[in-house]
Structure 1
């Protein structure tokens, strides 16, 4: 059995009982890591980092396991599953372990009448989502997840444990708010939560035969809507004879003021393409889905922030969506609180964005995707003139040039400088990697 000096957590080696389940990511990807460790203390994290360096093993840090970097061939996977504590402190402050899932967080905060703008799915890990920004169902009202971050406990490549905040390690604090897992292992976060345990939420379905009209109408409503109204328009293809193509607007209005919510939502119901709706008061936790990807399903996707959802962009999105029968399109309206944070305050730099566009092609189990990534990338490239840059959290696979696509040049240069200070040997390289200056 593998022994790691100073490590008191769980070690899972190939051939052991738990290995086959521990290696699987949320996207049903299976790799063959050399070892999986689950630390229970920050000292365990430091010991695991030292062991990986001594054995010359690439280090993969796993929170919720939603990215392909969460389980990599030949690596030491540092799984933060045991860091799942959720503690409500005082005055709305909450301390959350990086390995907790957002479904657990929402359920734990609900009895206190609190919520954080978080991942869309219950299974998303707190650590991964937070470090790359965090766009959730409160984004228009309170901003990104990182905009509610007060401090973080970070284990550096050296094994040193530091607290990053506005008053302690401020450059590191700037970097981890958007810079991903490039700078250390964040074990716990302290957030300022918000008083929205209940929301008014649901969906409106639109006529799927006229995407251009649906997109334009939705955009016009959202431009005039109060910031309390969050919404995402999703276009889905047919999935067999019993599931026709659909266009759905999912919406969330924080709070319980039904009159104000109804006034904000009514213009969506009045759209000429509106077909049906279901809107009710519910717990914020109910906004998070429990969807799991079927085994063997492959999704090839691209995304980008846009400063303006123009008529020209809408035309381009209609063409893009028609390019493949199994296309999925998602446009998320995010303009609001995130725009009021200065662009240089965090490493998340796309503060001028009005919306986030995600385009994907879904391949059923067993279907060949050989050469498809290049074809899909060529189609997406036609939107390059409309986009500001990619969103790291929705770029879950390994692709070349991701850091350059996510960060503007000046932001990337500052991140590389900080990386050179805290991780000069690029120990934390299994991510959308920022190379040290």
Structure 2
């Protein structure tokens, strides 16, 4: 079917953008994918989200929902359908400083969240870039710069306001709709449209921030030493690695963030990283937390970074996995390889506490390729690494197919995810093409 502007409900007056609107080219796409929707809805309330959802259903239009951020999988746009863009819903409110409870609308980006919470001395560990949107991340996981200190973003979500597929607005918390809360924390995209979250923040103003460039040996022992150093470190340390090849020499660009303003603790946490290999360069300083997810980051998403991405969660970087990582980053058709530290607070919840069951792995590995490389290139580059993985992180999966679902939600978790998906969205309106 095609979009019929003559049947638009009055609730959406002034909220719809069509291809003849000068704003359309800034709203039709995600960061990775150029879209061609028939119409983009810009709701400013849950009632308007419900009206847009009903419009898509009534006209038989394919539906996509996005919170306005990166959306690596490209599922936040479509061709010929309706896109619900939540970016106008971006309020951030501190509800209770004593309990550090904050309400964050799903269309905010994490740069705005960090800036709004900073005057209160609070922070939420989220993504690693200020342009990432709240809604997609806070329903999928959330591995941020303070992940070992804070946990995943979903670990601190205490309530979610959700528009269901039938247009009803419900609040999901531990006392009301606990099954919906369970699935929204890790697999929310298939159950409903999250419009706001109540999240328990942490007290955090200033962090230690170190960056190292370290030569990587062919066997990848440098990467094994990095993982071991992080695992032995205080929980305040979180780290990430960008692994790339400069000619014949693989190099690890290591970022370390220490969630503390205690200089002695920062030094204690960072110094072991200096011993993981031949350090080619280093810098360290203390910065306000919002600088890590800066307000300079947000930008319009116009499909400017076409890419394909997959992921794996490693229980440990053993010798074979280490060699596979080096090969993936420096082989004849290399992928961009990133590592993110886990452990610490991410291991505190039980695997069945929420729809993110991966509570024993130490490292997330993310592999990405860019045109002209394709999915086959990504598979060839990443398979050697993923053979050592136990699970995947849904927000870094470009292809939302049965295989990625089974890796993100293995075994009983998958069954427990699909049950509320079918109950809250029996027609699969919110999960076209998904399990």
Residue 312 (structure 1) shift: 2.0
Judge conservation of contact 1:237–1:327 (CA < 8 Å) in 2: no
Alpha-carbon shift at residue 220 of structure 1 (Å): 2.6
- Of residues 69, 85, 93 in structure 1, which corresponds to 2:101? 93
Specify the alignment match of 1:16 in structure 2.
21
Q: Distance in 1 between matches of 2:348 and 2:105?
A: 28
Per-residue deviation, 1:59:
1.2
SS at match of 1:344: coil
- Hey, what does 1:231 align to over in structure 2? 239
| 1:430–1:102 distance in 2 versus 1, CA, 3 Å | farther
CA distance in 2, matches of 1:338, 1:4: 45
The Cα of 1:12 is off from its aligned counterpart by: 0.5
* Residue 33 (structure 1) aligns with: 37
Structure 2 residue 254 is the aligned partner of structure 1 residue 249? yes
Q: Does 1:63 align with 2:67?
A: yes
Q: Quote the offset at 1:386 in angstroms.
A: 1.3
| Aligned residue number for residue 340 of structure 1 | 348
Question: Which one of the candidate residues 264, 275, 278 is aligned to 1:259?
Answer: 264
1:422 maps onto 2:424 in alignment: yes
Match of 1:134 among 133, 137, 142: 142
Secondary structure of 1:181's partner?
Answer: helix
| Partner Cα distance (1:325, 1:251) in 2 | 29
Q: Is the 8 A contact 1:324 1:361 kept in 2?
A: no
**Cα shift at 1:423:** 0.5
**CA contact 1:237–1:328 (8 Å) conserved in 2:** no
Distance of aligned partners of 1:401 and 1:136 in 2 relative to their CA distance in 1, 3 Å threshold: same
CA distance in 2, matches of 1:46, 1:376: 38
CA displacement 1:371-392 (0-9 Å, x = unmatched): x312431442333431111111
Q: Report if aligned partners of 2:219, 2:319 keep a CA contact under 8 Å in 1.
A: no
**In structure 1, which of residues 81, 94, 98 is the aligned counterpart of residue 87 of structure 2?**
81
State whether residues 250 and 330 of structure 2, in contact with CA within 8 Å, keep that contact through their aligned partners in structure 1.
no
More displaced stretch, 31-40 vs 3-12: 3-12
CA distance in 1, matches of 2:114, 2:298: 16
1:352 shift after superposition: 1.2
CA contact (8 A) 1:2 1:11 kept: no
Secondary structure of the structure 2 residue equivalent to 1:386: coil
Q: Residues of 2 paired with 1:312 and 1:246: CA distance?
A: 18
Residues 52-86 of structure 1, C-alpha deviation per residue, up to 9 Å, x if partnerless?
11101111001124220111101110010111000
The structural deviation recorded for 1:409 is 2.3
**Which secondary structure does the structure 2 equivalent of 1:178 belong to?**
helix
Matched-pair contact (CA < 8 Å) for 2:245–2:329: no
Instruction: Give the counterpart of 1:361 among 351, 366, 369.
Output: 369
- The CA deviation string for residues 271-296 of structure 1, in whole angstroms up to 9 with x for no partner, is 44122211111111111263879975
Partner of 1:377: 379
Q: How does 1:138-217 map to 2 (within 5 A)?
A: 138-208=146-216, 212-217=220-225
Alignment match, 1:119:
127
User: Aligned to 1:352, which of 360, 365, 387?
Assistant: 360
- Output one character per residue of 1:10-54: Cα deviation in whole Å (capped at 9) or x when no partner: 110122221122112112x21111111011111111111111111
Alignment of structure 1 residues 38-49 onto 2, 5 Å = 38-49=42-53
Contact preservation (8 Å) 2:191, 2:430: yes
2:308 pairs with 1:300:
yes
CA distance in 2, matches of 1:401, 1:46: 31
Alpha-carbon distance between aligned partners in 1 of 2:191 and 2:332, rounded to the nearest angstrom: 39
Following the alignment from structure 1 to structure 2, what is the Cα–Cα distance between the partners of residues 2 and 225? 61
Secondary structure of 1:331's counterpart equals strand
Judge which range, 69-78 or 282-291, deviates more.
282-291
Structure 1: state its 5+ residue gaps. Answer: none
Q: Give the secondary structure class of the aligned counterpart of 2:26.
A: helix
* Length-normalised TM-score, structure 1: 0.91
Distance 1:96 1:340 in 2: 24
Q: Distance in 2 between matches of 1:298 and 1:249?
A: 25
Q: Give the aligned CA root-mean-square deviation in angstroms.
A: 2.2
In 2, the alpha carbon distance for the partners of 1:24 and 1:312 equals: 39
Paired residue total: 422
The 1:334–1:38 alpha-carbon spacing in structure 2 relative to 1, beyond 3 Å, is same
Q: What is the deviation of 1:307?
A: 1.1
